[in-house]
Amino acid sequence: MIAILGAGSLGRLWAASLNPGRAAFIARPAEPPRAAIRYRFRPFNGPESIIEVPWLRAGDNPELILVTTKAGDTFGAIAGVIDRFPQSSPIILFQNGLGSQQTVTAHWPYRPILAASTTEGANRPEPDLLVHAGTGDTWIGPMTKSAGSYLNKAVALLSAGGLTIHPEQTIRQRLWQKLIINAGINPYTAILDCPNGDILASSLYRDTIRGLCRELSDLMRASGQGEETPEALRHRIETVARKTARNTSSMRADVLKGRTTEINFINGYLARLGKDFGIRTPVNQMLTEQVQQLSSH
């Protein structure tokens, strides 16, 4: 049994891929007991089906716990349920950005905690409809010392669902690579309220992207993430913006739906890191403040 904490798009995608009978959602303490979660699942290829995912029962001992909450909810969600599970239960964190993973591993350093970075695309155009909009890859790697010995088992368990999973010993590096892309696309799409490709022609982007990439390059070096020139980072950001030109970024979608964005774990995280290292980050700060003004955060 694989337990999933967080019944949003990503949690539902994993549940749908692992069902029947392999996945259960973990109820939060404040959640009244409800019937199983039922939704329509529209796969990337093939016909729609109905998915029914039960709640984990008291005493169930899952082989793996997937945490698919938003970055800002993650620590509280885990803290509310973790005492139900043995110290040896492996936990995989699926959050965007950086910062939430560090908070969790700093608090539970002896638990086997892994992190994942995924390019799977899923959304919920209606509350009871889950669309697997784009197939991708998922990399999983250890964040705490004791997690290393669980990696192969976790990859095998998740691969059984049919999604493409890779073991990744240097998962922090991969999280950083994704952070760079998200930092260079997401806030602009939210502020400008446009699809990813349209940011490239805007004056906000054109006036600030050089400064942003300089900050990103300095922060990567200071964090031990290697040398990447600002130009190379800009090239990567723009390649993804062109490839996903018609997409609505996750941050723009959050703003449009009135949800809390993940800005504090993307540009906000980078601005905090800059303070720690004594590196100036005016562009990250400006983007963070502008996105915070658009939403409840």
Report the alpha-carbon distance of residue 236 to residue 240 in Å, rounded: 6
Tokens (6 digits) for 242: 């062109």
Candidate residues 74, 100, 196, 217; the one interacting with ligand KPL per rule CB under 6 A: 196
Confirm if 142 and 171 have CB atoms less than 8 A apart: yes
Q: Which of residues 123-162 bind ligand KPL (CB under 6 A)?
A: none
Candidate residues 250, 261, 264, 267; the one interacting with ligand KPL per rule CB under 6 A: 250
Nearest to 153 by CA among 214, 63, 80, 79: 63
In the complex, the smallest distance separating the C-beta of residue 125 from ligand KPL, rounded to whole angstroms, is: 16
Candidate residues 240, 277, 279, 290; the one interacting with ligand KPL per rule CB under 6 A: 240
How many CB atoms lie under 10 A from the CB of residue 296? 10
Q: Phi/psi of residue 117, each to 5°? A: -125, 125
Report the alpha-carbon distance of residue 253 to residue 96 in Å, rounded: 14
Return the number of the residue (247 or 281) whose C-beta is nearest ligand KPL: 247
Return the range that interacts with ligand KPL (CB under 6 A); candidates 52-60, 75-83, 155-163, 178-186.
Answer: 178-186
Return the number of the residue (194 or 222) whose C-beta is nearest ligand KPL: 194
178 is catalytic: yes
How many CB atoms lie under 10 A from the CB of residue 163? 18
Return the range that interacts with ligand KPL (CB under 6 A); candidates 82-90, 125-133, 200-208, 247-255.
Answer: 247-255
Report the alpha-carbon distance of residue 179 to residue 214 in Å, rounded: 15
Indicate which residues carry an active-site annotation.
Answer: 178
Binding site for ligand KPL (CB under 6 A): 181-182, 185-186, 196, 240, 244, 247, 249-250
